[in-house]
Structure 1
Amino acid sequence: MTTNQPPDPTHHSRWRPLRLLQAAMDADIGRVYPEQPIEGLKPSFVMELLRLHACGPMTIAKLAESVQRTHSALSQKVAAMRAAGWVQTVVGEDARTKRVALTDKGRDVVGRLAAEWRATEAALAELEAEIPYPLSQVVTDIECALERRSFHDRIAEKLAKDPAWG
């Protein structure tokens, strides 16, 4: 029996392998925490926890800026970190703002998190040395190409030629 359904364009993706690779690597990073044991820590929390340790309490907006994330994304992440007990919000200097601060639980693990960060960066450098074209160079090359012509402009040009778009 045949159907007249159109082909699904999502079966082909240049992004998916990169996303899946990063997810697998993040999962491997996550596997080291229970070995310490550091329970309930997500790899995605580590940069913010280390930044708070290095810089002290800061507003969500400042923290978001410092880790190059949106305020909205950081607000959600702070809520999750707060629920897990890694951070707390404290009244800011003018009582109208709140600042994100490490809890005792967060402070107790930052030394090990810094060690994990260094080990992860060293493992990535080792991995990049094994391949002919390091991912960090790929990123730099793509950024340079996008400075010449934005991704938006590239997509818009392709859409302008596609009758299904217009």
Structure 2
Amino acid sequence: MTHDPTEETSVWRPLRQLLNSLDDEIDQFYAQRGITGVRPRFVGPLIRLGHRGTMTIRELADALEVTHSAMSQTVAALRREGLVRTATGSDARTRQITLTDRARRMLPLLEAEWRASEAALRELDAETPYPLSRAVADLREALERRRFRDRLDDHLPPS
């Protein structure tokens, strides 16, 4: 049997754990204010719908720069939590998404949390000797020079 590579040190696991811990703290913020059924990943779509009104899943995905599949899953979760309603659009394949009254009542708090989170993240970024925002930009530049798939292929044994 070969060695289990998931037991090795992961380059990206600490970043995922950091992001998860930040999301957990935002969840605690909502819980302390009696907000239930809202996950941090819901907030962007809710705020965008609040400002733009009814949108299709595709429009919402494009506006927030995520895949249609990811937004479709998020919208399904928002619907289960009673935060959005969906209706058939101009054709049977299109779904129109609108906020419920419950979601509209939450918007001022969600927007305040979004702004406060962004301010806190900028503060954290400024406290580090090499800001994460700079690291992300540098990684994007490196991937523009040579995409990840090519790098991955170089580390795989020939088939």
Q: TM-score, normalised by structure 2?
A: 0.93
Partner of 1:67: 64
Partner of 1:109: 106
Verify: 1:31 aligned to 2:28, yes or no: yes
Partner of 2:73: 76
Partner of 2:3: 7
Gaps of 5+ in 1: none
Report the secondary structure of 2:31's partner residue. coil
**Residues in 2 aligned to 1:158 and 1:35: alpha-carbon distance in whole angstroms:** 47
**Residues in 2 aligned to 1:150 and 1:138: alpha-carbon distance in whole angstroms:** 16
Give, in angstroms, the shift of residue 98 of structure 1.
2.6
Q: TM-score, normalised by structure 1?
A: 0.89
Report the secondary structure of 1:40's partner residue. coil
Alignment of 1:120-135 (within 5 A): 120-135=117-132
Give, in angstroms, the shift of residue 55 of structure 1.
1.0
Q: How big is the alpha-carbon RMSD for the aligned residues of Structure 1 and Structure 2?
A: 1.3
**Residues in 2 aligned to 1:126 and 1:151: alpha-carbon distance in whole angstroms:** 30
Give, in angstroms, the shift of residue 90 of structure 1.
2.9
Give, in angstroms, the shift of residue 119 of structure 1.
0.4
Compare CA radii of gyration and give the structure with the larger one: 1
User: Structure 2 residue aligned with 1:56, among 31, 53, 64?
Assistant: 53
Q: How many residues align?
A: 157
**Please, which moves more after superposition, 51-60 or 7-16?**
7-16
What's the % identity of the aligned pairs? 48
Q: What whole-Å deviation, never above 9, does each CA across 1:63-120 have from its counterpart, x for those lacking one?
A: 111111111111111111001011001343x364331000000100011100000000
**Residues in 1 aligned to 2:40 and 2:85: alpha-carbon distance in whole angstroms:** 19
**Residues in 2 aligned to 1:125 and 1:95: alpha-carbon distance in whole angstroms:** 43
